[in-house]
Amino acid sequence: MAPSDQSANTLILASSSKYRLQLLNQIGLHPLCIAPDIDETPKPLEPAEALASRLSAEKARAVAKAHHASIIIAGDQVCDVDGAILGKPGNAETAKQQLTLCSGREVIFHTGLCVLNTTNNKLQIYTERVLVEFRALSSQEISTYITKEPAFDCAGSFKMEGLGISLFKRIRSEDPNSLIGLPLIKLCEFLRNEGLSVI
């Protein structure tokens, strides 16, 4: 990182996600990682995009309470199948149900991003929309995928950066990193706004 003035700021990732940390590492950022303690339950009738945006901001604010003079990065991803929200599957049976539901359909992933400067309380929020069209998947393909790559900690039950890419017909997004966990193009812009640059 080549900041213009970072002497007073600590960079924090408000997440325990190894995927988000890997994305930051690949652009040369090595933040302090702190898992936020928030309730991630959707509000009644809350749209998926609004949920991703709200949770990103709440995660950043939760960590900010105990960390002053910091730049906090937070994110959240919500999988939307015709208005139904799919969370992290947690186990093979739920992953099979999710992938069966997604088979042959276009699924929307909303990836929220929040950058909070606790020095001046400046909050930058953005949500990236990624359209993923799944192939028509056979039951055997789904079972084989889950065995080879059990993505039980990923919304939608797959890892795009791994074997999960074989499940798709196409992806439409302004930033493919969003499907992994963070829209890096927008993140770099937000950090530049705070006087921080990765180059």
**Catalytic positions:** 76
Q: How many CB atoms lie within 10 A of CB 82?
A: 9
Alpha-carbon distance values, 78 to 7, 32, 52, 193 (Å):
35, 24, 6, 26
21 residue type, one letter: L
Q: Is 175 exposed, middle or buried (0-12, 13-18, 19+ CB in 10 A)?
A: middle
C-alpha of 114 from chain center? 11
Q: Which residues contact 15 (CB under 8 A, 6 or more apart)?
A: 21, 33, 35, 36, 59, 73, 74, 75
